[in-house]
Structure 1
Amino acid sequence: MAGDDASPPAPTDAQTPSETAKGRLAQVSDHIAPNAQKKRRRSGADSDLPADYSDILGQLSALRKLAATPDPNNRGYVRQKQAGKLWVRERVEQLLDPGSFQEVGSVSGTVKWKQLGPVKEEPVEYVPSNNVQGFGRLRGRKIVFTADDFSIRAGHADGALMDKTIYMEKLSIALQIPIIKLVDGSSGGGSVTTIRTTGFSYVPPLPSFTQVVQQLNMGIPNLGAVLGPAIGLGAARVVACHFSVMAADIGSLFNAGPNVVKNATFEEGLSFTDLGGPAMHCTNGTIDNLAPDEAACFEQMRTVLSYLPDSGTKLPPTIECSDAIDRMSDSLRSIVPRARNRMYDPRRIITEVVDQGSFFEIGALWGTTAIVGLARFDGRPVGIVSLNCEVNAGALDALGSQKITRMLRFLDVFNLPLVQFVDVPGYAIGTVAERTATMRHGVTLATTYYSTTMPIFSVIVRRVYGVAGGIMLDCRDPRMRVAWPSGMWGSLPLEGGIEVGHSFELKEIEKEEGKGKRDERYKELEDEYRRLMNPVRTANHFGVEEIIDPAYTRRVCCEWVSHVYESLLPQRVMERVAGKIRPVFA
């Protein structure tokens, strides 16, 4: 048969088994690589390239060095410094924990190459992409971030910016880690000069907002800072965040700049600050908070993040607390005046009850009839809502309703329980209240209270009247609440309720016996109603579950928050993972 000639000969008496094995091994080797000869390396262009790819690594190093070194002769950099602003990489360095910056897209940009040979070249000019992005840490927490570089094309779109931004938005979702946005410019928004570059104009896309909305509703923290003029898309990106802050010395925000406004509305001579500075947008709710400078913006973002989980499928982070749970506050017994028309400082109640130094207020300059923020009880984060009796007597107006509505959604997506201090005389009334659609926004607040599912604990500090009071206290079943001895409640405040309820009687007395007798009868009715409105009478009928000594409010709240974190929030997180609960922020 064919191949028999190749069969190994049978060992003879002269061959040892070892020699036979060596012969067979030699035959196998010849079969695998017959007459193998060493190949000589061909000469050519590739032979000049280093085997360790040091040429490519050198190009990368050169580009990264150019990107990390500011050009003091660049007019954009000079303009940045003259405006009192940090350069983008200085911002990144100040924001992040030391040594934690890992850039993504470090060499994206426009490069001019010099050819050195058939295949060899080196970069001679480099304009980086005008957005620095990557990973870092804030107080040990891993985050992704984007930071605009206003010194390059004022932050307007370039070839890589949109792709880089969308990639970071997607990474935040895939890795479920917070995203920080430092906005200075248009964050990749359009420029007229783009038409010349591309040779055509385009229908404006907005691909990144699909991911933004997904992040917001997943409870992945989105924190933004306005560190210069935030224009168009840049403005939209920061306003869409869960929390936003503006630097008072350099920040502004608008849909279009003064030159565009001048031609559209004939408003001339507007500065960035006139058009959209802190006095405009930190007082109307567009931006949550105001900070004196860039460093303070970074600190506020670190602080807010410390209360939040990495995503809605995790528990909020807790910390060690040295403030005693059973700390008494004797001052709370007299903080609410017995004279009903006298005001008090509601922030004193909040700071006295929560962990010392833990209250962080959000939106202090807008919607001032309401106070909202974040705090801790025994190291566990919670949301805080209070009405402000020092503004409009605490009556809830349109902006106050919007502010609380936003806060409720914020707490719901981050699994944060709510502790609220209630003193609400009702919705604001009068022509201003009607003109600003108070009831429309009040009803939106009502639907938000009833559609969110985070646990709520209420402390009735003083007044609870009307629809507004009912919404705040009756939105959970069973109700979890306590009242202070200063509590008073009803469908209407006495100041107007007696006039309405006894209108005919009082008018008849005044007509028949004069105004003096009418005032005397009014005083009799007022005294009677005040006696009947003793909060103990309400407790006798279980209309309020418990009236407590205000000095022990902290202990009561700490016990409730502890139970929520031990028993309710773990179950809630499991339901979030299973898709049974789907909070909506946006």
Structure 2
Amino acid sequence: MRERSWESLLQELDAMEEKARVGGGLEKQEKERQKGKMTARERIFSLVDPGTFVEINMLAETQTFDFDMQRKKIVGDGVITGYGRMDGRRIFVFSQDATVFGGATGKAQGEQIAHLLRLARRTKAPMIGLYDSAGGRLQDGIENVAGYGRMFWENTRCSGVIPQISAILGTSTGGGVYSPALTDFILQVEKTSQLFITGPTVIKAVTGEDVSFEELGGTRIHTQKSGVVHFSVKREEEFAGTIRRLFTFLPSNNSEKPPLVETNDSHDREVPRLQEIVPAAHNKTYDMHEVIREIVDNGDYMEVQAAFARNMIICFARMAGRSVGVVANQPRVMAGVIDIDAADKAARFIRFCDAFNIPLVTLVDVPGYMPGTRQEYGGIIRHGAKMLYAYSDATVPMISVVLRKSYGGSIPAMCCHETGADQYFAWPTAEFAMMGSEAAVEILYRTEIGQAKDPQAVRQEKIQEYEDTFSTPYFAASKQYVDAVIRPKDTRRAIINALLMLENKESEPRPWRKHGNIPL
């Protein structure tokens, strides 16, 4: 055995590390930049605080011998994994490298990512995945299952323990789409990234359908139609800023509370403009975004899935410097009715906030669930029940404010006392009923109206009588279904007082169970 010097040994290590840094080669890296994309390492460095990234498994290589892979193998095997700090907080991050076999995931790469997920879970630090992959690596054959399967298993084990954020920064196809789908939030870049299970070529061969990459899995499709993607950015350079902003509202794990931020916005600030924004007449519309902007700290909030199911708004904000998750009907879109997509959107957000100790503020102005055969055939009963389950299962502080309408099955769906609200407020304009007063009167007084000399006059009389007797917030308050009828200008103060009062809320003991069975 020849004797080796420290100099030669360290030179060998330097050479190996340099091979890992260049991935598939400088030429391929330059081609990625010409597409408007960053390299895998540049993405990580744009995300973490300078000088804090520590790489793990830098020298990993494929262990596949078929298809001459030992000659073709590249150090690092197409993914960079490690940990660092983002705004001073520990995070774990991996970045797939499209210059190495198109970023395709084989067994070795899958094991690297799974190992990182396991470390993140055990140390209770958030995970950020930067995806740019052509899917499963064909050369690895069935061993792809070992790589992908372990990733999916670890994603699932991390769910509800640490926040998991995915950024789609190139193509993510086939089995590669399921890892981000198992995470909490997905971000996608316009034009340079697509997300789909089966590509246009296979679709053409199987179904005869012609579709482009962008029409199949671009940001417009996934932010507006499928609801798969939560955030989109126009340029790749913007993705890190969006993730950083999102994390300001989140704790690092399920054992912590979200960061408390001094916002210098008075807890007692009145919001008289709400009376200008929200018409007293229920048949007039308004934009719920304006209401949210008025009541949260400094008018600042971060909307999630803004372009999907726009009849329901979900967003992160702060009140008294504390993170809150806001769920609100949007009267400007479909009158704020709850349909299948809106129920799915709200329910998953509620579950996330509850998992990570983020109090929920629910703003209610809802005429009910969406009627019609399309909704019934699509399973509105099952999808609508997700909201009931999510609120009923949640243990974080929950405050609801009914601005105007609250009808039928949507009353418990939008978090009343019976489905978990700790404090339930109503404006003087609030109207509670199993259905609108006109429809209720038609059912209750059909015979009397039909036999009247002046049916229209009797109908109007009964409508007014029904509204005055049953629909007012004062009737609900007299039965203690409502904790307080509040003036619109006092909405912010009432919510913050409730949040501060509930800050040390403890969960009630529950029967032992392995887990519940949410109506998926």
For normalisation by structure 2, the TM-score amounts to 0.90
CA contact (8 A) 1:87 1:149 kept: yes
Of 427, 434, 440, which residue of structure 1 is paired with 2:369?
Answer: 427
Question: What amino acid is aligned across from residue 301 of structure 1 in structure 2?
Answer: I
Aligned equivalent of 1:23:
none
**Which residue number in structure 2 is paired with residue 444 of structure 1?**
386
Q: 2:338 aligns with which of 391, 396, 399?
A: 396
- Determine if the alignment matches structure 1 residue 503 to structure 2 residue 446: yes
Moved more, 162-171 or 491-500: 491-500
The separation in 2 between residues aligned to 1:330 and 1:229, in whole angstroms, is: 48
- When residues 582 and 406 of structure 1 are mapped into structure 2, their CA distance, relative to the original with a 3 A threshold, is same
1:178-197 aligned within 5 A: 178-186=126-134, 189-195=135-141
- Residue number in structure 1 paired with 2:67: none
Contact 1:378/1:558, CA 8 A, preserved across alignment: yes
In structure 1, the residue matched to 2:119 is: 171
1:100 corresponds to: 52
| Cα distance in 2 between the residues matched to 1:322 and 1:344 | 28
Task: Give the residue type in structure 2 aligned to 1:448.
Answer: A
Structure 2 portions without partners, runs of 5+: 64-70
Among residues 104, 113, 120, which one is paired with 1:156 in the alignment? 104
Query: Which amino acid is 1:401 matched to?
Result: A
Say if 2:495 is the partner of 1:544. no
Alpha-carbon distance in 2 for matches of 1:70, 1:210: 27
- Aligned-pair CA distance for 1:193: 3.6
Q: CA deviation at 1:326?
A: 0.9
Match of 1:8 in 2: none
Letter in 2 for 1:531: D
Q: Which residue does 1:119 correspond to in 2?
A: none
- Paired residue secondary structure (1:562): helix
For 1:443 and 1:582, locate their aligned partners in 2 and report how far apart those are by CA, in whole Å.
Answer: 17
Alignment of 1:353-372 (within 5 A): 353-372=295-314
Letter in 2 for 1:519: Q
1:564 positional shift: 2.8
Gaps of 5+ in 1: 1-43, 112-122, 196-200
- Mapped to 2, the partners of 1:55 and 1:558 lie a distance apart of 65
| Deviations 1:31-60 (CA, angstroms, capped at 9, x unpaired) | xxxxxxxxxxxxx722xx11xx33222222
Q: Mark the CA change 1:584 to 1:78 in structure 2 (over 3 Å): closer, same or farther.
A: farther
Contact 2:53 2:85 in 1 (8 A): yes
**Is 1:278 matched with 2:231?**
no
Cα deviation for residue 84 of structure 1 reads 1.8
Change (3 A) 1:306 1:390: same
The offset of 1:536, in angstroms, is: 3.2
| Greater mean deviation of Cα atoms: 495-504 or 227-236 | 495-504
- Structure 2 distance, partners of 1:145, 1:451, is 31
CA distance in 2, matches of 1:175, 1:496: 56
Partner of 1:30: none
Aligned AA (2:138): V
Tell me the secondary structure at the aligned position of residue 485 of structure 1: coil
Query: Equivalent residue for 2:66?
Result: none
Paired with 1:151 and 1:171, the residues of 2 have a C-alpha distance of 26
AA in 2 matched with 1:329: V
Q: Is the contact between residue 464 and residue 470 of structure 1 (CA under 8 Å) also seen in structure 2?
A: no
Structure 1 Cα separation of the partners of residues 197 and 75 of structure 2 = 27
Query: In structure 2, the residue corresponding to 1:453 is in which secondary structure?
Result: coil
The alignment partner of 1:396 has SS state of coil
Letter in 2 for 1:282: T
Q: 8 Å contact 2:327–2:363 — kept in the other structure?
A: yes
> Is this contact kept in 1: 2:432–2:472, CA < 8 A?
no
Deviation at 1:445, TM superposition (A): 1.9
SS at match of 1:165: helix
Does 547-556 or 521-530 show the bigger shift? 521-530
Match of 2:2 in 1: 45
Cα distance in 2, alignment partners of residues 350 and 129 from structure 1: 47
Tell me the amino acid that sits aligned with residue 153 of structure 1. F
The correspondence for 2:88, drawn from 111, 120, 140, is: 140
Whether the aligned pair in 2 keeps the contact of 1:452 and 1:583 (CA below 8 Å) is: no
SS across alignment from 2:306: coil
1:487 equivalent in alignment to 2:433: no
User: Aligned with 2:9: secondary structure?
Assistant: helix
The change in CA–CA distance for 1:126 and 1:339 in structure 2 (over 3 A counts) is: closer
Matches within 5 A, 1:498-577: 498-509=441-452, 517-532=454-469, 533-565=471-503, 567-568=504-505
Distance in 1 (CA, whole Å) between partners of 2:194 and 2:227 is 14
TM-fit CA distance, 1:395: 1.3
What's the offset of the Cα at 1:312? 0.8
Instruction: Establish whether residue 131 from structure 1 lines up as the match of residue 79 from structure 2.
Output: yes
TM-score normalized with structure 1 length: 0.80
What amino acid does structure 2 have at the position aligned with 1:259? Answer: T
1:4 corresponds to: none
Q: Which moved more, 1:335-344 or 1:60-69?
A: 60-69
Q: For residue 459 of structure 2, what is the amino acid of its counterpart?
A: Y
Instruction: Give, in angstroms, the shift of residue 405 of structure 1.
Output: 0.9
1:56-85: CA deviation from partner (whole Å, max 9, x where unpaired): 2222212223333477763x4354234221
How far has the Cα of 1:531 moved from its partner? 3.1
**CA distance, structure 2, for counterparts of residue 305 and residue 582 of structure 1:** 28
The answer as to whether partners of 1:361 and 1:374 remain within 8 angstroms in 2 is yes
- 1:8-27 residue pairs with structure 2 within 5 A? none
- Give the aligned partner of residue 84 of structure 1: 36
Structure 2 counterpart of 1:437, one-letter code: G
Instruction: Return the alpha-carbon distance in structure 2 between the equivalents of residues 161 and 251 of structure 1.
Output: 21
- Cα deviation per residue 1:235-289 (whole Å; 9 max; x = unaligned)? 1111211111111131210012222222222223x32112111121112221122
- State the secondary structure of the residue aligned to 1:356: helix
Partner AA of 1:563 in structure 2: M
Tell me if structure 2 keeps the 8 A contact 1:575–1:581: no
RMSD: 2.8
Amino acid at match of 2:493: R
**What residue number does 1:57 align with?**
10
DSSP-derived class of the 2:273 partner: helix
Following superposition, the deviation at residue 520 of structure 1 comes to 2.6
Measure the CA separation in 1 of the matches of 2:420 and 2:221.
40
Contact 2:188 2:231 in 1 (8 A): yes
Deviations 1:111-154 (A, max 9, x none): 9xxxxxxxxxxx99955421111112111111011111112111
Read off the aligned partner of 1:185 and give its amino acid letter. S
Q: CA deviation at 1:378?
A: 1.3
> What is the CA–CA distance in structure 1 between the aligned matches of 2:151 and 2:517, rounded to whole Å?
19
Going from structure 1 to structure 2, the CA distance change for 1:502 and 1:381 (only over 3 Å counts) comes to same
- Which of the residues 382, 397, 421 maps onto 2:324? 382
Is the CA contact 1:136–1:142 (under 8 Å) kept in the aligned structure 2? yes
| Alpha-carbon displacement from aligned partner over 1:522-554 (angstroms, at most 9, x marks no partner) | 222223333334433443454422111111111
When residues 167 and 203 of structure 1 are mapped into structure 2, their CA distance, relative to the original with a 3 A threshold, is closer
For the pair shown, which has the larger CA radius of gyration, 1 or 2?
A: 1
